[in-house]
């Protein structure tokens, strides 16, 4: 892509209504635009990142054995009356009537709809365990939408639903998702901490939130510094080990405000290890047994021949909120650097030649073509802006690698720079080899 053609409406000034750095950056870098309170359009730069996050989430869900499907955004109110949640959900639910006066709603979550699909199509334990998921827009009429896409009204969520014959089976599905979540966040370059959480309107008795440490987060958390040393890569995901992994992560005291207990905290965590900080909730998982299968009569024939209510869990990730969380962690001193796994472009070429200088233009074009031939997603700055303003723009765009082309360089010499490090003078072959190692290994 050439910057002169790329739809990237950069703002020079920080919009006054944007209070946190992710919101500021997303507006300034032309990633999103608000269309109504808490409702956003995703412009090309933002959309590229959102899609890359989605791919990683999908890969880890698929690896955990979950199957992707797609349920609609609009649901029938009747289903929610069956589960008993229609009235209880309150004003956060956007309720709609169609021309026949039928009550519909814009889905805030999908337990009811997926339970209906399950009960109409699965009759026997032989089809279990089953985990279904989709990545779909949700609407919640939040009382105070704020921080841009962090707490908005329309947002993209990955939500999975597990169905098992037994409690033990349900626990295994829960553990598989627990693992998939930690793996997903690790691949996004984030350190996520699982915390015991309240189950809220979803209901149930076992639940964990996954929280990214950031000062601007809305959740207050209490935990031990020791949890920061635990790494998911040190655990395998075979079934026997899953229990040990969940145990290792959950035996360290960690809680949000709602579950916090000072004396328990002091008893379990030494003073010098106590970590009291703020974080962003990026995922939430629940085991809720037969809460929906009972009220909505989702029965299966069990292995011992009886009709039983199926054991269920649900598992959400805030896909769009993750874009903000990644920025909060990686945008420092007005310079953004995307993790290589989600960067909107692999590499930038910055042509510093003046308008009249054909030499740098030809050289830049040549590098651009070579990189594209090697399947890299490249952004070439071919605009007439001053070098200072070009560098400022790239501080916002956040591509982690830059090739800078000036008129003083020799024929096969290029300035290659990883954001945050010194530049190197190297050949194009070296750059291609290096980028292949980084992106295609």
Q: Which residues bind ligand ATP (CB under 6 A)?
A: 109, 140, 142, 151-152, 155, 157, 200, 281-284, 316, 318, 320-321
Q: In the bound complex, what is the minimum distance in angstroms from residue 146's beta carbon to ligand ATP?
A: 9
Q: In the bound complex, what is the minimum distance in angstroms from residue 205's beta carbon to ligand ATP?
A: 16
Is the previous residue joined to 431 through a cis bond, with omega within 30 degrees of 0? no
Nearer to ligand ATP, 110 or 116 (CB): 110
Nearer to ligand ATP, 137 or 440 (CB): 137
Nearer to ligand ATP, 155 or 416 (CB): 155
Q: In the bound complex, what is the minimum distance in angstroms from residue 165's beta carbon to ligand ATP?
A: 25
- Scored b (16 or more CB within 10 A) or e, 192-203 reads bbbbebeeeebb
Nearer to ligand ATP, 113 or 122 (CB): 113
Structure tokens at 145: 């939408």
List the beta bridge partners of residue 194.
210
Contact 207, 198 (CB under 8 A): yes
The span from the CA of 148 to the CA of 142, in Å, is: 12
Q: Which residue is nearest to ligand ATP (CB)?
A: 318
Q: In the bound complex, what is the minimum distance in angstroms from residue 139's beta carbon to ligand ATP?
A: 9
Nearer to ligand ATP, 185 or 345 (CB): 185
Which residues, 6+ apart, have CB-to-CB distance to 378 below 8 Å?
Answer: 1, 345, 346, 347, 348, 349, 368, 371, 372
Q: In the bound complex, what is the minimum distance in angstroms from residue 322's beta carbon to ligand ATP?
A: 7
Nearer to ligand ATP, 157 or 379 (CB): 157
Nearer to ligand ATP, 182 or 405 (CB): 182
The span from the CA of 45 to the CA of 344, in Å, is: 6
Nearer to ligand ATP, 194 or 318 (CB): 318
Query: What is the 3 state secondary structure string of 76-128?
Result: EHHHHHHHCHHHHCHHHCEEEECCCCCEEEECCCCHHHHHHHHHHHCCEHHHC
DSSP, collapsed to helix, strand or coil, labels residue 49 as helix
Q: In the bound complex, what is the minimum distance in angstroms from residue 275's beta carbon to ligand ATP?
A: 20
Q: In the bound complex, what is the minimum distance in angstroms from residue 33's beta carbon to ligand ATP?
A: 17
Nearer to ligand ATP, 142 or 395 (CB): 142
Q: In the bound complex, what is the minimum distance in angstroms from residue 331's beta carbon to ligand ATP?
A: 18
Crossing angle of helices 239-250/167-187, nearest 10°?
70
Query: What is the 3 state secondary structure string of 357-416?
Result: CHHHHHHHHHHHHHHHHCCCCEEEECCCCCHHHHHHHHHHHCCCEEEEECCCCCCCCEEE
Q: In the bound complex, what is the minimum distance in angstroms from residue 161's beta carbon to ligand ATP?
A: 13
Task: Using alpha carbons only, give the angle 260, 263, 269 rounded to the nearest 5 degrees.
Answer: 85
Structure tokens at 11: 């703002």
Q: In the bound complex, what is the minimum distance in angstroms from residue 278's beta carbon to ligand ATP?
A: 13
The span from the CA of 247 to the CA of 382, in Å, is: 53
Nearer to ligand ATP, 313 or 400 (CB): 313
Q: Which of 93, 195, 191 is nearest to 139 (CA)?
A: 93
Nearer to ligand ATP, 9 or 201 (CB): 201
Longest dimension (CA), the chain: 83
Q: What are phi and psi of 387, to 5 degrees?
A: -55, -40
Q: In the bound complex, what is the minimum distance in angstroms from residue 344's beta carbon to ligand ATP?
A: 20
DSSP, collapsed to helix, strand or coil, labels residue 167 as helix
């Amino acid at each position: 892509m050439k910057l002169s053609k790329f739809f990237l409406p950069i703002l020079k000034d920080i919009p006054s209504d944007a209070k946190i750095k992710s919101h500021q950056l997303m507006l300034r870098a032309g990633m999103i635009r608000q269309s109504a309170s808490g409702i956003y359009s995703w412009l090309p730069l933002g959309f590229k990142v959102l899609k890359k996050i989605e791919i990683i989430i999908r890969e880890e869900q698929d690896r955990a054995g979950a199957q992707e499907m797609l349920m609609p955004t609009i649901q029938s109110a009747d289903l929610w009356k069956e589960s008993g949640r229609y009235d209880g959900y309150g004003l956060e639910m956007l309720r709609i009537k169609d021309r026949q006066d039928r009550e519909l709603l814009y889905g805030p979550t999908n337990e009811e709809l997926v339970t209906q699909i399950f009960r109409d199509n699965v009759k026997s334990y032989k089809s279990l365990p089953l985990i279904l998921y989709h990545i779909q827009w949700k609407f919640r009429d939040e009382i105070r939408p704020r921080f841009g896409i962090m707490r908005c009204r329309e947002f993209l969520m990955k939500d999975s639903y597990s169905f098992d014959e037994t409690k033990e089976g349900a626990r295994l599905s829960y553990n598989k998702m627990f693992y998939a979540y930690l793996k997903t966040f690790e691949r996004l370059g984030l350190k996520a901490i699982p915390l015991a959480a309240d189950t809220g309107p979803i209901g149930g008795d076992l639940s964990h939130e996954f929280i990214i440490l950031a000062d601007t987060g809305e959740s207050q958390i209490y935990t031990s510094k020791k949890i920061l040393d635990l790494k998911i890569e040190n655990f395998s995901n075979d079934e026997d080990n899953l229990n040990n992994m969940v145990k290792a992560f959950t035996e360290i005291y960690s809680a949000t405000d709602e579950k916090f207990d000072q004396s328990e905290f002091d008893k379990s965590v030494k003073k010098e290890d106590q970590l009291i900080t703020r974080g962003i909730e990026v995922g939430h998982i629940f085991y809720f047994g037969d809460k929906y299968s009972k009220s909505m009569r989702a029965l299966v024939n069990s292995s011992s021949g009886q009709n039983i209510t199926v054991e269920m869990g649900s598992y959400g990730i805030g896909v769009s909120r993750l874009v903000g969380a990644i920025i909060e962690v990686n945008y420092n001193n007005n310079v953004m650097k995307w993790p290589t796994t989600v960067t909107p472009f692999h590499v930038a070429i910055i042509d510093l030649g003046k308008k009249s200088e054909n030499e740098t233009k030809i050289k830049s074009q040549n590098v651009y073509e070579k990189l594209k031939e090697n399947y890299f997603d490249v952004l070439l700055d071919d605009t007439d802006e001053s070098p200072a303003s070009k560098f400022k723009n790239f501080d916002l765009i956040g591509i982690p690698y830059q090739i800078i082309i000036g008129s003083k360089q020799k024929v096969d010499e290029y300035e290659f720079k990883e954001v945050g490090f010194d530049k190197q003078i190297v050949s194009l072959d070296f750059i291609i080899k290096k980028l292949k190692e980084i992106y295609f290994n």
